[in-house]
Amino acid sequence: MSAARLLTLTRLLQLASPALPVGAYTYSQGLEWAVESQVVRDEASSGRWIGDLLQLGIGRYEAPLLAAALTAWTGADDATLNGLNARFLASRETAELRAETVQMGYSLRRLAGELNDPALAPVVTWASSVPEVAYPVLWAGFAFAWSVDAPEALAAYLWSWAENQVLAALKAVPLGQAAGQRLLAQLGGCIPAVASQAAVLPESDWCNLAPAFAIASSRHETQYSRLFRS
C-alpha cells in the first residue's frame, strides 16, 4: 500500500474515532429511554434495537443522504449541499435530535478551522456560509477533502454511529465489555450491505420512518434521570 493510501486510511480512522471532538459520546439517540422503559434490557435486546435502527433508520435515510453529500462535495455543488443540509435538519423528529446534529456540526465546523489543513479550505468556506450545519453533510466534506473513497466513508460513518450506540448501551443497560464486542462484531457484519444499499438508493426511496425511535427520543426529553443529551 502506498504512503498516500496509508495517509488516507489514517485520516479515515481519525474521522471515525470516538476521539473526534464533536461530543458524540454524550448522545444516545433515544436508547437511554428504551433502557428506562425496559424495551432494551440485555445484550440481545440491545442488538435488536441498534441493528434495526442501523438497517431500517440510518441506513435508509442518513446514509443515503451522506452518499449524496459526498457526490455533491466532489462536484463542488454548493446548491445541492445547501439543500441536503436543510433537508437533514428538517428531518429530525424531535428537538433533541435536531439539537444533536446542530451541536455536532458546529463542533466539526470549528475543528475544520482549527486543524489548519489547506485541504479543508473548501469545507471551511462552505460551512461558514451556513447558519446551522448538519453533521453528516459536513462529515462528508471532511471525507472528500481527505480523499476518502465513498464506500469506505459510508462504512466508517455507519461504524462510528454503531460504536457510539454500543458504548451508550454499555453504560445505560449496563453491559460488559465482551458483550459490547459481540454487538460490534454483529453490527459490523451488517454494515457492508447497509452501506452498499445506501450508495445506490434513489432519493425517492429515502425514508426515515421509525416510530419507536421517534417516540423514544420524545420521551427522553422529559425523562427524569438521564446520562445522555438525547
Residue 70's domain comprises 30-220
Instruction: Name the pLDDT band for 158 (thresholds 50, 70, 90).
Output: very high
3-state secondary structure of 2: coil
- CATH number of the domain at 103, please: 1.10.4190.10
Question: 1 pLDDT exceeds 80?
Answer: no
pLDDT bracket for residue 95 (50, 70, 90): very high
Residue 5 lies in a domain: no
The answer on pLDDT for 4 being more than 90 is no
Domain tally, the chain: 1
- Dist. CA 163–CA 180, nearest whole Å: 9
In this predicted structure, the answer to whether residue 175 has a pLDDT above a threshold of 90 is: yes
User: Where do the H-state alpha helices sit in the chain?
Assistant: 3-16, 31-36, 43-52, 62-74, 78-91, 95-114, 121-128, 135-145, 150-172, 177-200, 211-220
In a domain, 62, yes or no: yes
- What integer is the mean pLDDT of 139-145? 98
Give the count of beta carbons closer than 10 Å to the beta carbon of residue 21.
12
pTM exceeds 0.95 for this model: yes
Question: Quick check: is 79 in a domain?
Answer: yes
| pLDDT at residue 224 in the model | 83
Residue 162 predicted with pLDDT over 80: yes
Query: CA angle 51-201-167, nearest 5°?
Result: 25
Residue 184 has pLDDT above 80, yes or no: yes
94 in any annotated domain: yes
Asked, for residue 182, whether it belongs to a domain, the answer is yes
- The answer to whether residue 7 is domain-embedded is no
159: Cβ contacts below 8 Å, ≥ 6 apart? 16, 188, 191
The three grid cell numbers given for residue 67, joined into one nine-digit string: 452518499
- Please report, for residues 66, 85, 198, the alpha-carbon distance to residue 155 in angstroms, rounded to integers and kept in the order given: 11, 20, 10
Quick one: cell of 91? Answer: 428531518
- The pLDDT tens digits for 23-64 are 999 999 999 999 999 999 999 999 999 999 999 999 999 999
**Residue 224 DSSP one-character state:** S
- Does 8 reside within a domain? no
**Calpha distance 193→2 (Å, rounded):** 27
Picking from 77, 217, 213, 70, the residue whose alpha carbon sits closest to that of residue 153 is: 70
- Evaluate whether 85 touches 137 at the Cβ level (below 8 Å): yes
One-character DSSP codes across 172-220 = HTT--HHHHHHHHHHHHHHHHHHHHHHHH--GGG-----HHHHHHHHHH
Instruction: Note whether residue 170 is domain-resident.
Output: yes
Classify residue 100 by burial, with Cβ atoms within 10 Å: 0-12, 13-18, 19+.
buried
